[in-house]
Chain A
Amino acid sequence: MATKLSPVEGAARQVDYWWTVFKRTWRGGAISSFVAPLFYVVAMGVLLGGFIEGDPSRLEGATSYLDFVVPGLVASHAMQIAVGETTYPVMGGIKWHKTYLAQMATPLSVRDIVNAHLGFVLFRVASACAVFMLVLAPFGVFATWWGAVLAWLAQVLVGICFGCLVMAFSVRLRSEEGFGVLFRLGVVPLTLFSGAFFPIDNLGPALKWVAVVTPLWHGVDLSRMLCLDHVDAGAALVHVAVLAVLTVVGWRLAVTGLEKRLEV
């Protein structure tokens, strides 16, 4: 190979490609990434929340169930978008459309391809969560505006962490059947049991520890602390560190996995 591109140059060369993808697909994502979570906020937060006493000692400091559930819902939403963008589209790049193979025939390296794809995931998560948070602001669920902004950054971190981890999984998968299993045994239980809908203390001591080691719980707790302005600095640092380490590990595994797959 004649020249190796710098990471910035390599990613920059694919901006037009991903921008085209976005222009062609954003409408489809708009409903699932926006209207759907809003339905959840109204059904769970507002209507079911009417049956739940706003007791801060049982709701991790929140004074209503709506305040409690919203930060967790947005965080798990970030995970779902990231998973959606790094499952079928990744297999498409390798197996169906073979976009990755076409990109490999240019000076781009595997690392550049992974970076650009994850950059797109970052953009999707950041924009979807920003819109979602703005729509939720009139519900009066955020204690401070800066807390909401920091919570948004936490949600973006959740998204990119899951983007890296799931991409590492997807590049090693031979058939799309694995995605169905990932959704049912990974995404659905994580959404339901990572403290988004109820405090993980309610799970009992054994299952609580299972929840504590999942990356989504760290994101949910971080997002909630910031939204409610109940920040425990030590815990927050642990959350950020866990998510950051998993992001780096996931990214590394995604690159090595795709290198093996494309037999560089």
Chain B
Amino acid sequence: MGQTVIPSPLTPVQAARLLVLRNYITYRSAWKLFLTGFLEPVFYLFSIGVGVGQLVEGFELNGEPISYAAFVAPGMLAASAFNGALMDSTYNVFFKLKYDKLYDQMLATPLTTRDVARGEIAWGLIRGSTYSAAFLLVMAAMGLISSWWAVLALPAAILIAFAFSAVCMGLTTYMKSFQDFDKITLAQLPLFLFSATFFPVTEFGDGALRWLVEATPLYRGVVLCRELTTGELSWASGVSVVYLLLMGLLGLAIVRRRLDLLLLK
């Protein structure tokens, strides 16, 4: 690695802007894929929240009665931010890194590995937050929001996406083949299904299992979104925010180090 540092003619913001623009242009031809991405959480909300919800009797959250749809909806908001971030930062990044050699090409320009990491994550966040905003509007239209705190559910969803994008992009740099994605599915699905998305965490009793669930990042995101849409904030909400923020920053540091190692050595 060269010892002399050539000053980049681009500021980090300019560099990120260029990368976002690049992704925007490539996605323009796949607009159907972009548009339909928003539908998935809405389908889940209608199926599980409304369809299955008609079978669920007397659901409670912290001792207060709540409709099952209002319980599931913030869980779907968090889960869709999570799923979207995971897709963008694993499959897409792996493909660009290994097959397209896209990052090699980018590094032949004044862009640095830091710019690549920040730019890719920024694009994922922009894409994800349009979905989250649309989903929140659907929730509001269906009368599933009971507090003005819900306005903060959008930044909360973006925070979830940031934490998972950064960490998963870091993990993707360790992957050797598409077979490794099974491990991602194996982690993704239990997180999606057991993070108090479809039923409260109290279902796991009071033992070690419940502690384990409460320590996972998606659970923190789900309860954060739920606290915001129902207006039941507590000190634990702050814990969730700090947890996700630290997770994202840690991931970003790993991505930078790994891209340096993979592309600049």
Nearest CB of B to A76, in Å: 12
- A interface, CB within 8 angstroms of B: 27-28, 31-32, 35-36, 39-40, 42-44, 47-48, 50-53, 58-59, 65, 177, 180-181, 184-185, 188-189, 192-193, 197-198, 202-203
A58–B189 contact, CB under 8 A?
no
Nearest CB of A to B82, in Å: 15
Task: Provide the bound-state CA to CA distance between A53 and B150, in Å.
Answer: 32
Q: List 27 A-B contacts (CB under 8 A).
A: A31-B185, A31-B186, A35-B186, A39-B189, A44-B198, A47-B199, A48-B56, A50-B199, A51-B57, A51-B59, A52-B55, A177-B32, A181-B33, A181-B36, A184-B36, A184-B37, A185-B36, A188-B43, A192-B48, A192-B51, A193-B46, A193-B47, A193-B51, A197-B47, A197-B52, A198-B47, A202-B55
B36–A180 contact, CB under 8 A?
yes
Nearest CB of B to A233, in Å: 27
B178-194: which have CB < 8 Å to A?
178-179, 182, 185-186, 189-190, 193-194
A28–B179 contact, CB under 8 A?
yes
Partner pick for A192 among B44, B55, B186, CB 8 A cutoff: B44
Asked, given contacts A43-B198, A177-B30, A177-B33, whether A31 binds B182 with beta carbons under 8 Å apart, the answer is yes
Interface range, B side: 20 to 34
Task: Provide the bound-state CA to CA distance between A189 and B179, in Å.
Answer: 27
Nearest CB of B to A78, in Å: 18
Nearest CB of A to B95, in Å: 12
Chain A residues with Cβ below 8 Å from B30 are 177, 180
A27–B179 contact, CB under 8 A?
yes
Chain A residues with Cβ below 8 Å from B198 are 43-44, 47-48
B56–A51 contact, CB under 8 A?
yes
Task: Provide the bound-state CA to CA distance between A162 and B143, in Å.
Answer: 37
- B interface, CB within 8 angstroms of A: 30, 32-33, 36-37, 39-40, 43-44, 46-48, 50-52, 54-57, 59, 68, 178-179, 182, 185-186, 189-190, 193-194, 198-199, 203
Which residue on A lies nearest to B47, using beta carbons?
Answer: A192
B47–A39 contact, CB under 8 A?
no
Task: Provide the bound-state CA to CA distance between A32 and B182, in Å.
Answer: 7
